[in-house]
Amino acid sequence: MNESRRKILDMLAQGQISADEAERLFAALEKEPAPPSSSASDSPPRAKPKYLRVQVEEQKDASLHEPSVVNVRVPLQLLRAGVKLASIIPAQARDHVNGALRDNGVGIDIGQIRPENLEEIIDQLDDLTVDVDKKSEKVKVRIYCE
Amino acid sequence: MIPFAADVSIRSGRHREWQLWIPLAILWILLAPLVLILLPFFCVACLIGDIDPLRAIAVFWRILTSLNDTEISVNKPEFFFSVHLY
């Protein structure tokens, strides 16, 4: 018998709680997850995310209007399939895409993107918020996996 | 699994909101013969473009099957649009 159960029985014996209350406490104890056996796992294991959510909120001129909200939920499977799509782009077209990316300051080779890279990004992408301040509007972009 | 239906909602200005349920399964059935007819042309185009046609078909199929449970909504004061594939 563990410590919590003994304490409940003691309280019941001393008349501090009624039999119904004791029953509820026992039920609550049973629902409680068991404490982790090893000290190595401090946090509970995270469920594998299934979706990537992108929320864009645009607030124009100091809350005169309701903000515009764009909400996109994409299955991560679709992103994985998209990465595969990059692998079937012909070499000539790939060079064009890489050149255009380089011109815009993005120095990546789309031919080198592998599904493993995407998994690394997903693992790290808990919750990313980007605030964009323009002259007359505020844009908040929130990207997270769920 | 490929999406078999889509919910589409549209509202513009003060007009009433339109809610459509689109049975994509029927669309796929109707498109299937067209896909079969166009398949040889697609394969030839892939070979001309130096792309493995089987690999291309596999990738497109994977994209199609991954679309399930995609949600997109745009909510502006004067306009609302949402689509959910499932």
Nearest chain A residue to B73 by CA distance is A71
Question: Predicted confidence band at A32 (pLDDT cuts at 50, 70, 90)?
Answer: low
The H or E element spanning position A123 is helix A115-124
The average confidence (pLDDT) of chain A is: 78
| Chain A closest-CA separation from residue B14 CA (Å) | 15
Cβ-contact B20, B7 below 8 angstroms: yes
Please give the Cα distance from A95 to B52 (Å, whole number): 18
pTM of the predicted model as reported, rounded to 2 decimal places: 0.66
The three-state DSSP-derived secondary structure of B46-78 is HHHCCCCHHHHHHHHHHHHHHCCCCEEEEEECC
Give chain B positions within 8 Å (CB) of A65.
77
DSSP character string of A13-80: HTTSS-HHHHHHHHHHHHHSPPPPSSTT--SPPPPPP-EEEEEEEEEETTTTSPPEEEEEEEEHHHHH
Contact state of B71 with A65 under an 8 Å Cβ cutoff: no
Residue A23: pLDDT band with limits 50, 70, 90:
confident
- As for the ipTM of the complex, it is 0.80
Name which of B51, B70, B74 is nearest A78 (Cβ-Cβ).
B70
User: Chain B: nearest CA to A78, how far in angstroms?
Assistant: 5
Q: How many CB pairs under 8 A join A and B?
A: 61
Q: Tokens standing for A60?
A: 């124009």
Domain ranges of chain A: 1-32, 51-145
Task: Read off the pLDDT of residues A52-86 as tens digits, 9 standing for 90 and up.
Answer: 899 998 877 655 667 889 999 999 888 888 888 88
**Digit-coded pLDDT (tens) for A75-117:** 988 888 888 888 788 888 888 888 998 998 888 888 788 777 8
For chain B, the domains span 6-85
